[in-house]
Amino acid sequence: MSLLLQLLCVALFLHVRHCQVIEDVHVIPPPEPILVGRLEQTVAICIVRADEPAAIKWRTRDLPYKVEEKNIRHESGIFITWSELKMIPERRLHGMEVTCAVQQHEGTLTVQNIHFAPEMVNIDVLENADESLQLSCHSEANPPAEYIWKRGDQVIKSGVPSVTLPKEAEPGLYKCEAKNYLGVNAANLQIVERKQHRSTMKDSLSWTIILGVTVLFFSRYFFRSLPMV
């Protein structure tokens, strides 16, 4: 303990007859991942070293929680207060900060080990200059999802979030599956016969031009053949 801290403690002791000395406050994550959908689990652990058992308060953005605490007295006379913050795991806990406060001391932990199955799976489509299609799949998951691409029940690519379909790609239902060890989710995309569609449009345009020229020719012939009045 520093001399200044000792003097402050003595002054406080003379005034209120008590002085608790906090040596350090540490907040650590639990050793195991926190699984969404399971029962109440330990989200964070606060460890406080002081000259007597510490009165710990948690701040969790007003989310409900429970606490389990125990005090261990070291042979040196220092007390170690171990406080476990317990909550029902939810998706919104991922990335949230929790704070352990003792008097004027506090420690903060950003919760990063919330594990949840893939959700919000989406497929983005981009047409390249050569008329091929770039399909990109993304999802929210922790651990990050692995991706499998299928056309119908046939696997066409796996292990990557994007796939390129050639200009002459077979039409059908394409599926992106996102999976991790907690579950799987998917998004579908229907690909139509693009080549045939373009040919049909070209044919329709050609027939429209031919019909227009024919009508124009016969109209001019018809008006020329009318007798002059």
Tens-digit pLDDT profile for residues 146-205 = 999 999 889 999 999 999 999 888 889 999 999 999 999 999 999 887 654 444 444 554
Residue 225: pLDDT band by 50, 70, 90 thresholds? low
CATH 2.60.40.10 residue spans of the chain: 24-112, 115-192
Helix, coil or strand: residue 13: helix
Which residues contact residue 186 at a Cβ distance below 8 angstroms, ignoring those fewer than 6 apart? Answer: 121, 175, 176, 177, 178
CATH topology of domain 115-192: Immunoglobulin-like (2.60.40)
Read off the pLDDT of residues 38-90 as tens digits, 9 standing for 90 and up.
899 999 999 999 989 999 999 998 899 999 999 999 888 899 999 999 999 99
Determine the residue type at 43: V
Q: How far from each other are the two terminal CA atoms of the chain, in whole angstroms?
A: 123
Q: Cα(189)–Cα(177) distance, rounded to whole angstroms?
A: 12
CA angle 149, 154, 159 (to 5 degrees): 30
Residue 159 per-residue DSSP state = S
**Residue 187's closest CA among 163, 206, 203, 211?**
163
C-alpha to C-alpha distance for 160 and 80, rounded to whole angstroms: 48
- Could you tell me the sign of the dihedral formed by the alpha carbons of 193, 196, 201, 204, in that order? negative
- Amino acid identity, position 151: R
pLDDT band at 220 (very low <50, low <70, confident <90, very high): low
Q: By C-alpha distance, which of 178, 97, 88 is closest to 142?
A: 178
Q: What is the pTM of this model?
A: 0.69
> Mean pLDDT over residues 86-106, rounded?
94
What CATH architecture is 24-112?
Sandwich (2.60)
Residues β-bridged to residue 99: 59, 108
Where is pLDDT greater, at 41 or 20? Answer: 41
Question: Residue 75's pLDDT is what?
Answer: 86
Q: What angle do CA 212, 216, 222 make, to 5 degrees?
A: 145
Tell me what pLDDT residue 210 has.
52
| Planar angle of CA 76, 102, 49, nearest 5 degrees | 15
| Band of pLDDT at residue 21, cut at 50, 70 and 90 | confident
Length of the chain: 229
d(C-alpha 25, C-alpha 101), whole Å: 8
C-beta of residue 51 within 8 angstroms of C-beta of residue 79 = yes
pLDDT at 193: 77
